[in-house]
Amino acid sequence: MAKSTASTIDRNALPEERQQRILARLRSEGRVVAAELAEAFEVSEDSIRRDLRELAAQGLCKRVYGGALLPAVTVTPLKQRRTEHPLRKQALARKAVSLVKPGQALLIDAGTTNAAIAAALPVGAGLTVITNAPQIAQLLLDREGFEVMLVGGRIDSSIGGAIGAQAVEQVRRVRADLCFPGACAIDAVHGLWGFDSEETLFKRAMIEASDETIVVATDDKLGAVAAHQVAELTRVQHLVVEHSADRATRAAFAAHGVMVHRAEAVSG
């Protein structure tokens, strides 16, 4: 009887409602098959294909034969990323910093959202920060009360931090209470992903060197696609998302045991 009720709800859903449910499934699973969606929603495959066309026109999916995939995230130049969505990143940073306890050692990856996290860390909490990003190290040196350790190695200008064998080896020789690996993409099925193979190895080393992992992700990173897996979702204890992250996506991560923290709403 419960299955019949669910089917009736799906069958009677307006196209806009159905598309939102399709999008939630796409973000959770990374791909959808038109025939399976048609059966689940009890509508024709033509209706589903029309839904997928409309979602693709909005840039929310990539149509492929028989269904759709999430669009790959494009890598924006670092200089441009530093000026994008500062209020949203600050809101994420405030929520992320609320998870930090006095006296902890933190591993903070390079990235503009992580720079916002570093800027939001409380003064006088006796925090030790280990980072591969010169920008983050300098930002904390300009504030009092932080012990700062800079991971060395080859600096990748597109990433804004040190990566490569030397950086990975240094991180393997430290222990941290929390780490904040930069999120290129994260989904509720396959976990955390990165674009660059060397950067991915560094993020993986951060997670292995830390007791807990906090991933802070803007909406475009949720369910997105990248080339290299950093870690299974079981290695992520906390996920900080924007206020606008939809309920279905948040629930998908929570169902896998991840504590999801929602940032405050912002106007910008």
Per-residue pLDDT of the chain (268 residues; tens, 9 = 90+): 334 333 434 555 678 889 888 988 887 777 889 999 999 999 999 999 999 998 888 777 888 888 888 766 555 555 555 556 789 999 999 999 999 999 999 999 999 999 999 999 999 999 999 999 999 999 999 998 999 999 998 898 888 899 999 999 999 999 999 999 999 889 888 899 888 889 999 999 999 999 999 999 998 888 777 778 899 999 999 999 999 998 888 999 999 999 999 999 987 5
Q: What is the pTM of this model?
A: 0.74
Domain 78-262: CATH class, spelled out: alpha beta
Query: Which residues are CB-neighbours of 195 under 8 A, at least 6 positions away?
Result: 73, 75, 184, 226, 227, 228
For 125-168, where are the E strands, in sequence order?
Answer: 128-131, 147-150, 154-156, 161-163
Euclidean distance between CA atoms 78 and 112, whole angstroms = 8
pLDDT for 4-19, tens place per residue?
Answer: 333 434 555 678 889 8
pLDDT for 220-234, tens place per residue?
Answer: 888 777 778 899 999
Question: Parallel, antiparallel, or unpaired: how do β-strands 176-180 and 67-69 relate?
Answer: unpaired
175 contacts 215 by C-beta, under 8 angstroms: no
CATH of domain 2-69: 1.10.10.10
Q: 111 — alpha (psi -120 to 50), left (phi > 0) or beta?
A: left
Domain boundaries, the chain: 2-69, 78-262
